[in-house]
């Protein structure tokens, strides 16, 4: 596979990957590429997936195997998506639970977060509290069982492939976790301030709008929760965030969050 420039933050659900990746990408002027923001785009380019309920019904180990099989297919699509961004020497910070150590052969800088089971439970419950999702609540315990197996598989693959894992305890000290991730990833070339940095932040914000609207239509949400949109000022190191819905974002024009 012809790999574009990338750095990875992988790990099991509930480990804080998305929050940490947003923070590091914005402070470090890196293009951010959360795989979950391309979920519906990927569905059109993959075989029809087996329903999640069917996967979970076979038990956590089988559900984990299904997750990994799908993840391998999606990583190929992620590589194509990142290449299409034409970033040159600047690596995209790719984040998502679909990234496993066994898949990262050509990625020089990568780290995986492995959460304690209680941290995963807390994160999933907080996510459910933000939006009405009766189906999610009904399958919570089955998901948590799969999440625990995923976390252990990540630990084992990292040992087998000599990759870095950062453990996330039940009561994490987040600055310490972020520092460990930064140390694992090291320094990277940055997007040029001004037009290019602004263009990439707009690209990411529009991806969030597209994904949110497709998710809303898919599960029948009356209203989308707010999403943390990145500032589009183009200033180096700007980590300012504005929270709103896709419809509110559309009305803003160029988003200046400070």
Phi, psi of 54 (to 5 degrees): -70, -40
| Torsion over CA: 23, 25, 29, 32 (sign) | negative
Taking the C-alpha atoms of residue 95 and residue 18, their distance in angstroms, rounded to an integer, is 7
Work out the pLDDT band at 131, boundaries 50, 70, 90. Answer: low
Taking the C-alpha atoms of residue 14 and residue 114, their distance in angstroms, rounded to an integer, is 9
Query: In the chain, where are the structural domains located?
Result: 6-190, 191-258
| CATH code, 6-190 | 3.40.50.300
For the cut 80, the answer to whether the pLDDT of residue 135 exceeds it is no
Crossing angle of the two packed helices 174-185 and 17-27, in degrees rounded to 10: 60
Taking the C-alpha atoms of residue 190 and residue 192, their distance in angstroms, rounded to an integer, is 6
What token pair was written down for 158?
A: 């990292």
Work out the pLDDT band at 133, boundaries 50, 70, 90. Answer: low
Taking the C-alpha atoms of residue 174 and residue 168, their distance in angstroms, rounded to an integer, is 9
**Average pLDDT in the 52-80 region?**
95
């Amino acid at each position: 596979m012809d790999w574009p420039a990338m750095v990875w933050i992988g790990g099991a659900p509930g480990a804080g990957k998305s929050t940490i990746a947003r923070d590091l990408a914005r402070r470090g002027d890196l293009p951010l590429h959360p795989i979950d923001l391309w979920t519906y785009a990927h569905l059109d380019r993959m075989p029809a997936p087996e329903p999640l309920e069917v996967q979970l019904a076979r038990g956590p180990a089988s559900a984990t195997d299904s997750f990994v099989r799908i993840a391998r297919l999606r990583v190929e699509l992620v590589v194509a998506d990142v290449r299409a961004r034409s970033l040159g020497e600047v690596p995209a910070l790719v984040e998502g639970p679909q990234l496993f150590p066994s898949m990262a052969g050509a990625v020089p800088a990568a780290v995986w977060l492995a959460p304690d089971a209680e941290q995963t439970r807390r994160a999933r419950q907080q996510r459910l509290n933000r939006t009405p999702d009766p189906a999610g609540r009904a399958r919570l315990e089955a998901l948590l069982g799969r999440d625990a197996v995923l976390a252990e598989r990540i630990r084992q693959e990292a040992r087998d492939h000599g990759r870095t894992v950062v453990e996330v305890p039940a009561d994490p000290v987040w600055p310490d976790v972020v520092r460990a991730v930064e140390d694992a990833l090291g320094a990277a070339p940055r997007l040029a301030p001004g037009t290019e940095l602004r263009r990439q932040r707009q690209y990411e914000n529009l991806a969030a709008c597209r994904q949110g609207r497709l998710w809303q239509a898919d599960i029948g949400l009356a209203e989308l929760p707010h999403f943390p949109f990145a500032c589009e000022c183009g200033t180096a190191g700007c980590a300012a965030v504005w929270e709103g819905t896709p419809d509110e974002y559309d009305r803003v024009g160029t988003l200046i969050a400070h």
